[in-house]
Amino acid sequence: MFSKSPAFNLKAVLLETGLAADTLRAWERRYGLPTPNRSAGGHRLYSQYDIETIKWLIARQAEGLSISRAVEMWNEHIASGLDPLAGYTSSSFPPPKPLLPTPPQTQRWT
Nearest to 99 by CA among 14, 8, 10, 12: 14
| Average pLDDT rounded to a whole number, residues 9-23 | 96
- Measured in residues, the chain has a length of 110
Q: Name the average pLDDT for the chain.
A: 87
Write the burial class of residue 101 (CB in 10 Å: 0-12 exposed, 13-18 middle, 19+ buried). Answer: exposed
Q: Which region holds residue 99: left if phi is over 0, alpha if psi is between -120 and 50, else beta?
A: alpha
Nearest to 60 by CA among 75, 52, 70: 70
Q: Is the pTM of this model over 0.85?
A: no
Among the residue ranges 17-21, 32-36, 49-53, 96-100, the one predicted with the least confidence is: 96-100
Structural domain boundaries in the chain: 10-92
The answer to whether residue 104 scores a pLDDT higher than 90 is: no
| Average pLDDT rounded to a whole number, residues 22-36 | 96
* CATH of segment(s) 10-92: 1.10.1660.10
